[in-house]
Amino acid sequence: MIYKDVEKIVDDAISTIGKNIILGLPIAVGKPTVIANEFYRRAKADPSIKLTMMSGLTLQTPAWNSDIERRLIQPLSERLFGGYPDPVYMRDAHAGKLPANVDLQEIYLSPGTGLGKPAMQQGYMSSNYTHVARDIEAAGCNAMAIMVSEKSATGKHSTGSNADATVMQLWDMNRARAAGRNVAILAQVNRNMPYMYGAGECSPEEFTGILDCDAGHHPIFAPPKEPITVTDYSIGFHVSALIKDGGTFQVGFGSLADAIVYALQLRHEKNDVYRRIVRDTKVDEKFMPIIQKVGGEEPFEKGLYGCSEFIFDGFIRLMDSGIIKRRVYDHPILQSLLNEGVIGEEVTADNINVLLDRGIIGPWITEEVFRALRKFGIFKDNVAWDDGCLVLPNGDRIPADMRDIVARNRVVNECLGDKLTNGLLIHAGFFIGSRWFYDQLMNMDDARRREIKMREISFVNQIPGQDELKLLQRLHGRFVNTAMMATVLGGVASDTLDNNQVISGVGGQFNFVSMGHEIPGARSIIVVRSVRAGSSGPESNIVFSVGNLTIPRHLRDIFVTEYGIADVRGKTDRDTIIEILKITDSRFQQALLKKAKENSKVPADYQIPLAFRGNLPEAVANLAKPFIKEGLFPTFPYGTELTKEELGLAKALRGLKARLTPKGFRPTGAAIGKTFRPPAAARPYLERMKLDSPADRKEKIIQKLVLYALAEDGVI
């Protein structure tokens, strides 16, 4: 049933399932916030309703904690997120205002946003992404709501971004519905959601109600791009040299992922420049053996296939650059022949000989075999099979008897296609990205979009289920994931602090690390920035031990920091510590080494080699300087949604926040002077903050703080 009123669709859902509502929602941009907000509004107004909301990565527009932050963020938020409906229940959860009859359970928090917030910390549900649909079903879920695209010409909708756990839940709910259970399966149509092919294609009959109203056609959430730092670029170039041509690629999101994509493009499109960077930054001098073993420096002649939990802008850029170009096929035997190189994507007479030799085609071409091979372009679309014959468009009939030389020659000359079809460049569970990314998907040629197939998360994130096909498709898998911290023994912390406060969530990281070990020829690559800013100065992200591990040390493999690559797969604890210390910031190496010796983990006389004792930020910065001058390491290689003034203000205000502490506040005379005599260069920044003509004493104080921050940061 089609609804134009969100109140009516929720009315009918509650009348079906009752007031004990267990509502499952997708993660990220596929969340039907209009419907979710209405369920929450009902529960907030009616204490007799018990509402449990199960979701993850609930995206909100930026908030502010002070007037100075508001002046920067509010206009930016209105420009970037205008029309996006904020999840009211999440706003209340962060503010500690959830009513007692509402329980919010999130499997993944927007990184860092839940710290110190009881509702977020207590309602976090730790679960592998591949187990989410199972866990939601086990909780007794009786309602789900998802966002879908408009109907296609076939009359189907698409879940667009979210195949992932969403379609698995949709299948579960429809099985429950068929068994006679009272459930509400709701969809919110959004014309801005791209129609994506794959597991997320669904018929209207799969829903008990479909909301198609003006409020539902809101912009898809598009987070602004993050600046890429020199640290990010250093990590990106090390990772890019570990990606094997002809292999499989997965990566996360954010500035590190953008840096990796940029380095891959440079490797492919400007290989001479790429090799010069690798040489001049001494990457080859220290790490060439692992690069030669695992990856390479050459352009991508065979190309990559993308198999990633989610995709973002970078995957489209890699497609456009001709890097993601290795097509895979949903046919194990065909994929095996391609892997062996005995057939190529061009269909030739030799293909028939190979298919005959391998027994794929028997003495007679059966209808089942014919249809399977026609699907992949070996036979032309306009050729049919009927009663033991191949039928040409003009009606001629050719016996499907491959023992008959005449018939066989006619099949080769008249029935074969030109090249393989229905190959896939990318499998993914969901997507999130910029407005540019969404526009690319919306306006992409249909044939090109069909090369991106959205699949349920159990297909993308693990091997069990279609094992043979997955192993054949995922050649030389390189699964790249980001960590908060790594231990010297190769354990990884990515979601939770020592005090059990949750930063984000496990997501699919454990799955992909496991695949890195399970698939022959695959590798797991964990990237981590070696240091972070602490309350009293820099702190190491390489630690001796940590209270909560996302990845246990027995799954250790390859680690990358801005200082290099550590290959620790199959190594002893001693050798693991030795290798990881080589890529640790030198300000922390000796303390870690001392602790390792005290605990008998390395020999008492071991010393870190001299070549690895200069791991300092200024060393990375100095190596990057010549390339920055050439314009090779831009802060925003793919553009930015922020103006020059907004970028300067954001950087300066971050610095101000760090300085306004008892230990950190050390004002300089030059900066203080500019607060009393603002230079002309300050005017655009003050205008952007509406502080060019302060109206009262409060605004004058804020103006001086902004001027001080801009001056201290060198913006003015």
Could you report the per-residue pLDDT of 531-554, keeping only the tens digit for each?
998 878 899 999 999 999 999 999
Q: Is residue 309 part of a domain?
A: no
Whether residue 48 is found in the same domain as residue 160 = yes
Q: Is residue 623 part of a domain?
A: no
Q: Is residue 278 part of a domain?
A: yes
pTM, whole model, 2 decimals? 0.94
486 CB-near residues (< 8 Å, 6+ apart) = 492, 493, 526, 528, 541, 542, 543, 559, 580
At 478 the three-state DSSP class reads: strand
| DSSP secondary structure code for residue 680 in this structure | G
Q: What are phi and psi of 564, to 5 degrees?
A: 145, -160
As a whole-number percent, the residues of the chain with pLDDT over 70 amount to 98
CA-to-CA distance for 690 and 701, rounded, in angstroms?
Answer: 13
* pLDDT tens sequence across 593-641: 999 999 999 999 999 999 999 999 999 999 999 999 999 999 999 999 9
Q: Is residue 221 part of a domain?
A: no
At 475 the three-state DSSP class reads: coil
Whether residue 70 is found in the same domain as residue 196 = yes
CA-to-CA distance for 186 and 142, rounded, in angstroms?
Answer: 11
Whether residue 202 is found in the same domain as residue 69 = yes
Please identify, among 169, 194, 216, the residue that sits at the C-terminal boundary of a domain.
Answer: 216
Q: Is residue 225 part of a domain?
A: no
Residue 123 in this model has a pLDDT that exceeds 60: yes
Please, are residues 318 and 304 in contact by the beta-carbon 8 Å criterion?
yes
* pLDDT tens sequence across 393-434: 999 999 999 999 999 999 999 999 999 999 999 999 999 999
Please identify, among 216, 251, 282, the residue that sits at the C-terminal boundary of a domain.
Answer: 216
**pLDDT confidence of residue 669:** 67
Whether residue 286 is found in the same domain as residue 177 = no
- Exposed / middle / buried, residue 154 (Cβ in 10 Å: 0-12, 13-18, 19+): exposed
* pLDDT tens sequence across 209-268: 999 999 999 999 999 999 999 999 999 999 999 999 999 999 998 999 999 999 999 999
CA-to-CA distance for 622 and 210, rounded, in angstroms?
Answer: 58
> What is the dihedral sign for C-alpha 578, 584, 589, 595?
negative
243 CB-near residues (< 8 Å, 6+ apart) = 249, 264, 295, 296, 304, 478
Q: 161 pLDDT band (50/70/90 cuts)?
A: very high
Residue 700 in this model has a pLDDT that exceeds 70: yes
Q: Is residue 622 part of a domain?
A: no
Whether residue 363 is found in the same domain as residue 486 = no
Please, are residues 70 and 649 in contact by the beta-carbon 8 Å criterion?
no
Q: Is residue 676 part of a domain?
A: yes
Q: Report how far apart, in Å, the C-alpha atoms of 350 and of each of 159, 331, 471, 568 are.
A: 41, 19, 26, 44
Q: Which domain holds residue 104?
A: 2-216
Residue 385 in this model has a pLDDT that exceeds 70: yes
Neighbouring C-alpha atoms within 13 Å toward the C-beta of 254: 13
Whether residue 268 is found in the same domain as residue 385 = no
Residues pairing with 82 in the sheet? none
Per-residue pLDDT averaged across 269-285, rounded? 94
Whether residue 129 is found in the same domain as residue 69 = yes
3-state percent helix, strand, coil for the chain, nearest multiple of 5: 40, 15, 40
Please, are residues 91 and 59 in contact by the beta-carbon 8 Å criterion?
no
Whether residue 293 is found in the same domain as residue 343 = no
CA-to-CA distance for 428 and 236, rounded, in angstroms?
Answer: 22
As a whole-number percent, the residues of the chain with pLDDT over 90 amount to 92
Residue 664 in this model has a pLDDT that exceeds 60: no
CA-to-CA distance for 222 and 208, rounded, in angstroms?
Answer: 29
CA-to-CA distance for 540 and 593, rounded, in angstroms?
Answer: 13
Q: Is residue 323 part of a domain?
A: no
Please, are residues 396 and 384 in contact by the beta-carbon 8 Å criterion?
no
At 666 the three-state DSSP class reads: coil
State the CB neighbour count (10 A cutoff) for residue 705: 17
Q: Report how far apart, in Å, the C-alpha atoms of 285 and of each of 177, 279, 290, 481, 569 are.
A: 62, 7, 11, 25, 21
> How many residues comprise the chain?
716
CA-to-CA distance for 209 and 186, rounded, in angstroms?
Answer: 5
Q: How far does CA 572 lie from the centroid of its chain?
A: 32
Whether residue 593 is found in the same domain as residue 469 = yes
CA-to-CA distance for 86 and 148, rounded, in angstroms?
Answer: 18
CA-to-CA distance for 646 and 62, rounded, in angstroms?
Answer: 14
State the CB neighbour count (10 A cutoff) for residue 384: 17
State the CB neighbour count (10 A cutoff) for residue 229: 19
CA-to-CA distance for 12 and 8, rounded, in angstroms?
Answer: 6
Whether residue 284 is found in the same domain as residue 337 = no
CA-to-CA distance for 698 and 103, rounded, in angstroms?
Answer: 41
Q: 663 pLDDT band (50/70/90 cuts)?
A: low
Please identify, among 146, 181, 216, the residue that sits at the C-terminal boundary of a domain.
Answer: 216
- Exposed / middle / buried, residue 205 (Cβ in 10 Å: 0-12, 13-18, 19+): exposed
160 CB-near residues (< 8 Å, 6+ apart) = 30, 147, 148, 149, 190, 193, 194, 195, 196, 200, 454
Nearest C-alpha neighbor of 304 from the set 129, 130, 430, 480: 480
Please, are residues 317 and 437 in contact by the beta-carbon 8 Å criterion?
no
pLDDT, averaged across the chain? 95
Whether residue 548 is found in the same domain as residue 674 = no
Residue 665 in this model has a pLDDT that exceeds 60: no
At 456 the three-state DSSP class reads: strand
Q: Which helix (H) or strand (E) holds 399?
A: strand 397-399
**pLDDT confidence of residue 674:** 84
Q: What are phi and psi of 154, to 5 degrees?
A: -85, -5
Nearest C-alpha neighbor of 528 from the set 503, 492, 502, 554: 492
Total structural domains within the chain: 4
Whether residue 360 is found in the same domain as residue 401 = yes
**pLDDT confidence of residue 429:** 97
Residue 660 in this model has a pLDDT that exceeds 70: no
Nearest C-alpha neighbor of 298 from the set 369, 244, 337: 244
DSSP assignment of 155-215 equals: S-EE-TT--HHHHHHHHHHHHHHHTT---EEEEEE-TTS---EETTEE-GGG-SEEE--GG
Please, are residues 189 and 234 in contact by the beta-carbon 8 Å criterion?
no
Q: Report how far apart, in Å, the C-alpha atoms of 472 and of each of 43, 410, 483, 692 are.
A: 49, 32, 28, 63
Neighbouring C-alpha atoms within 13 Å toward the C-beta of 369: 17
Residue 668 in this model has a pLDDT that exceeds 70: no
